[in-house]
Structure 1
Amino acid sequence: MDRRERIDTEEREIDLRELFFVLFHKKGIILLVTFVFILGAVLMTKLVITPIYVSSAKVYVISRQNQDSVATNQDLSAATQLTNDAKVVITSREVMEQVIEKLNLDMTAEVLAGIVSVSNDNNTRILTIRVSHADPYMARDIADAVVDISTSNVEEKMGVEKMNIVDSANIPEYPSKPSLKKNVVIAGAAGLVFSCMVILAVYLFNDKIRSAEDVERYLGLTNIGIIPVSDEIGAEKKKGKEKKRNKR
């Protein structure tokens, strides 16, 4: 590394140190802005955003020719393949319309299908039906209705045994979203980054000469000397300003 590169590296290190001290001296503003962001996130989560509750039910899918016979490996393999087809039937328009009619819901089949999700975790034959709604009791009722109506539809359309209910729909005690903890963390990080960026931007775009070192660094001039301002001169200036105000 030659002398010029070494000087450039030292200047970059000095700049980073200066930026750190700028942020350190403005830590009160940074903390205040971060607190305001966090407070806003708490108020938004508690007062503005509608909480959503999720009720879930589980059903078991199996296909076999004779209900009294023991399920064979072929039956189990066929049932595993049928679970994906059953997921489509459960969220079909026909099932959604029957659920709307049963519960007298004020929504379309497309809207209802948007709040209903079906999954089979770890590729099992157990399907989990989840319903998201602002009312936890309505979420439970819709999930139960979807299970009751879809079981007969799956049996009729796919020719499989009626799905067995593993878990009935529950009444969720706590909302699944919004997450207060998550929103607070995101808001705190956003407030911290925003305040630091604004402070650094103001500092970097400020082209005022604040010290003798700035004269040497930015103007390339050497300081011959520094003339101090005595307290007496400052006091005389203050007295002069006060006299002018009294005359007015």
Structure 2
Amino acid sequence: MEETISLRELFHTLKKRLWLIVLIMVVAATVSSVISFFVLTPIYQSSAQILVNQAKSEKDLYNTGEIQTNIQLINTYSVIIRSPKILNKVKEELNFPGTVGELQNKIAVASEKDSQIIALTVEDPNPSMAMKVANKTAEVFQRDIPSIMSVDNVTILSKATLGEKPSPIKPKPLLNIAIASVVGMMIGVGLAFLLEYLDNTIKSEQDVEQVLGLPVMGVISIIDDETSKETMSNSIDTVVRRDSVGV
């Protein structure tokens, strides 16, 4: 019985403060949409793939040890790709307006699991610049790695391309609005229960019983002006009739 009453009170509180919950949700979704569409800068992504593979002879078509060595070299290559020695040349050849540090922050290097392929990913507000940086970095790395490590086992597997209508990878307005709405709803529900908890006014006979611990013997109904006038009129009629009967 206690659980049923508690559950009923729970829904009653949510229903009573529903306008507050909806208001906070709408405000949160509106703020999120404004920030996503008008404040945040769209970021585009472009990727190139690099293959780390030693040239094979006819007698040595498959060498497991060499493949394992190439996979281990990928970690070293990932550091070299983002090093100033490579990025300084990329900056000069592209006439990149920013610093080498800014260029480095735009580039991410990752290797496919258990493979000899390196994915070189560039993020930039300009989709064309993201493509150019990715391709130029792969090109400079392939050209300079023989002189850096005395090896020639790097091939550009695929270049970055620019689609007809490139779409930004972030921000994602719909996702941001959905998250903001859920967070707003959670805040609204929490605020509704907080306001209900802080509200210590007595509104019903149940509140009287809970506060005083005494049973309610009777309830005085609220009488509005029209009901009061009608009751008084009926009382006057009754008195007049009694007087007439007495006469």
| 2: CA distance, partners of 1:51 / 1:235 | 67
SS of the aligned residue for 1:21 comes to helix
Provide the residue aligned with 2:87 in structure 1. 96
- Alignment deviations for residues 167-198 of structure 1 (CA, whole Å, 9 cap, x no partner): 11122611111112220121010110111111
CA RMSD of aligned residues (A): 2.2
Give 2:22's aligned amino acid: L
Contact 1:54 1:133 in 2 (8 A): yes
TM superposition shift of 1:135? 0.5
Residue of 17, 20, 25 corresponding to 1:34: 25
Structure 2 residues not aligned, in runs of 5+: 230-247
- Alignment deviations for residues 130-156 of structure 1 (CA, whole Å, 9 cap, x no partner): 001011011011111101111122222
| 2: CA distance, partners of 1:20 / 1:192 | 15
| 2: CA distance, partners of 1:143 / 1:86 | 15
Provide the residue aligned with 2:49 in structure 1. 58
Contact 1:152 1:162 in 2 (8 A): no
Residue of 154, 173, 178 corresponding to 1:180: 173
| 1: CA distance, partners of 2:60 / 2:131 | 34
| 2: CA distance, partners of 1:179 / 1:186 | 11
| 1: CA distance, partners of 2:182 / 2:197 | 22
Provide the residue aligned with 2:193 in structure 1. 200
Contact 2:90 2:133 in 1 (8 A): yes
Query: Aligned pair 1:154/2:145, yes or no?
Result: yes
Q: How many residues align?
A: 226
| 1: CA distance, partners of 2:145 / 2:127 | 26
TM superposition shift of 1:13? 4.5
Change (3 A) 1:161 1:68: farther
| 2: CA distance, partners of 1:156 / 1:235 | 103
Name the TM-score, length of structure 1 as normaliser.
0.83
TM superposition shift of 1:69? 6.7
Contact 1:139 1:171 in 2 (8 A): no
TM superposition shift of 1:71? 4.4
Q: Which runs of 4+ in 1 moved over 3 A?
A: 10-13, 66-72, 232-236
| 2: CA distance, partners of 1:212 / 1:164 | 83
Q: How does 1:203-218 map to 2 (within 5 A)?
A: 203-218=196-211
Give 1:148's aligned amino acid: E
SS of the aligned residue for 1:123 comes to coil
Which structure's CA Rg is the greater one? 2
Q: How does 1:1-248 map to 2 (within 5 A)?
A: 10-11=1-2, 13-64=4-55, 70-73=60-63, 74-171=65-162, 173-232=166-225
* Segment of structure 1 superposing worse, 70-79 or 174-183: 70-79
| 2: CA distance, partners of 1:168 / 1:197 | 51
Structure 1 residues not aligned, in runs of 5+: 1-9, 237-248
Provide the residue aligned with 1:3 in structure 2. none
| 1: CA distance, partners of 2:227 / 2:86 | 86
TM superposition shift of 1:120? 1.0
Name the TM-score, length of structure 2 as normaliser.
0.83
Change (3 A) 1:78 1:201: same
Contact 1:59 1:128 in 2 (8 A): yes
| 2: CA distance, partners of 1:156 / 1:41 | 50
| 2: CA distance, partners of 1:198 / 1:188 | 15
